[in-house]
Amino acid sequence: MALVPPSAAGPPLIAEVDMGASDLSSTVVRATVVQASTIFYDTPATLGAPSVSSFYLHRLYVGALQRCIIDLGSSFALNFVEAFDVVIFIYGLMLPLKSSLADKAERLIAEAASYGAQIVVFPEAFIGGYPHGSTFGITLGNRTAKGKEEFRRYHASAIDVPGPEVDRLAALAGKYKIYLVMGAIERSGYTLYCSVLFFDSQGQYLGKHRKLMPTGLERAIWGFGDGSTIPVFETPIGKIGAIICWENRMPLLRTAMYGKGSLETDGRDVEKHYYVGIEIYCAPTVYDRKDWQASMTHIALEGGCFVLSASQFCRRKDYPPPPDYVFVAAAEEPSPDTVICAGGSVIISPSGQVLAGPNYEGEALISADLDLGEIVRAKFAFDVVGHYSRPEVLSLTVKDHPQDPVSFTSTARTESTPK
């Protein structure tokens, strides 16, 4: 296992760990996982200049990465493989995608692209942030004034989809010719959603997945997604989709991803369903416990797919100091170096082999080559929605249309009227 050397333009933002070459007799996709600390700050919901406080935190972030690179050492060896590249960014919380955060995202994407990455995966809530340790002043039957103000700030840090931040991300994907899978807190009116945004290498926004089932107290701050946002996208580097954190433990949702298909029309104008099925299964998360690895391995085996789980890595010092930000659930205020989320990002093959990670040591960029032929070999033995299914006994129906709480018949008539 070797570390990739600095580029000619200077030292890499994050060192890459090369897991070695794969057999190139079939199509190969390279996967890279970036694990780094987080920035948590509050700025106006615009693409303006960073505030003084965000600039200060940005400097802290750069310093932390410099320390990480120094700790990793300066002896690097380069081993490039001609392959598609997948990059998973393991980060902590980001509030929000304004100028300084967007600049950080570009630096990381550029660094991944310099290694030849063609798909870059970020963790859950990279944009907008995951509020570790906060309760937003909620107790049964009550919300405090301070908690309401915390939510106002959190709401201001989220992004509109579509919106200027989405346009910026699309431009970055096009600029660096990568497929981008980005965790974000989405603002829709006054409701927030934990979402994943997808972009292609031509700079086009493809769509989103909204977290179908928030976990625990997340349900007090995030809305619930519906069946209209569980896409699987066909791309030249494989069929890509994402499920967020603990919703990966929902068997029926996983099955929907395995069997996700499309409609095509034959020569007689008869619609026929054809099986797409996920091949590159992205699992952004903030869950760093060791049992997560068992879940990811099971999904790879069950779905016959590659699993790319991107988790955060952050410490207490990556959040604003008290009293601006308090870890309410902690028995006492954590020390600045206390690890809040320890990473654990991992890349796993359809045979259940761990190709890269998990890493719990700190910030890192980890690579593995994905031989897409492994998918066929795995599904030869077990295809959960193909030859190993029994639809006459067990089947799943997915309601994949939007579940809007309010609809207007006049709007429907207007939209259906030919122009």
Q: What is the residue-averaged pLDDT of the chain?
A: 78
Collapse the DSSP code of 214 into the 3-class scheme (helix H, G, I; strand E, B; otherwise coil) and give the result.
Answer: coil
Q: What is the pLDDT of residue 348?
A: 94
Could you give the CA distance from residue 325 to residue 329 in angstroms, rounded to a whole number? 12
Q: Decide: residue 374, CB within 10 A, 0-12 exposed, 13-18 middle, 19+ buried.
A: buried
What number is the average pLDDT over the span 53-67? Answer: 34
Neighbours of 386 (CB within 10 A): 13
Q: What is the pLDDT of residue 37?
A: 55
Q: Is the model's pLDDT at 58 over the cut of 70?
A: no
Q: Is the model's pLDDT at 271 over the cut of 50?
A: yes
Q: Is the model's pLDDT at 282 over the cut of 70?
A: yes
Q: What is the residue type of 222?
A: W
What number is the average pLDDT over the span 15-40? Answer: 58
For residues 282-295, b (16+ Cβ closer than 10 Å) or e, as one string?
Answer: bbbbbbbeeebbeb
* 119 strand-pairing partners: 86, 179
Phi, psi of 127 (to 5 degrees): -100, 130
Q: What is the pLDDT of residue 83?
A: 45
Give the C-alpha distances (Å, rounded to integers) separating 93 from 183, 342, 394.
Answer: 10, 12, 40
Q: Decide: residue 110, CB within 10 A, 0-12 exposed, 13-18 middle, 19+ buried.
A: middle
| Residues sharing a CB contact under 8 Å with residue 40, sequence separation 6 or more, in sequence order | 57, 92, 93, 94, 95, 129, 314, 318, 319, 320, 325
Give the pair of three-digit tokens for residue 78. Answer: 């380069």
Listed range (206-215, 221-230, 331-340) with the worst mean pLDDT: 331-340
| Band (369; pLDDT cuts 50, 70, 90) | confident
Q: What is the largest CA-CA distance in the chain?
A: 69
Listed range (107-116, 149-158, 224-233) with the worst mean pLDDT: 107-116
Q: What is the pLDDT of residue 115?
A: 83
Phi, psi of 309 (to 5 degrees): -105, 115
Residues belonging to the active site: 124
| Residues sharing a CB contact under 8 Å with residue 331, sequence separation 6 or more, in sequence order | none
| Band (38; pLDDT cuts 50, 70, 90) | low
Pick from 57, 180, 54: nearest CA to 110: 180
| Band (210; pLDDT cuts 50, 70, 90) | very high
- Entry pTM: 0.80
Q: How far apart are the first and last CA of the chain?
A: 61
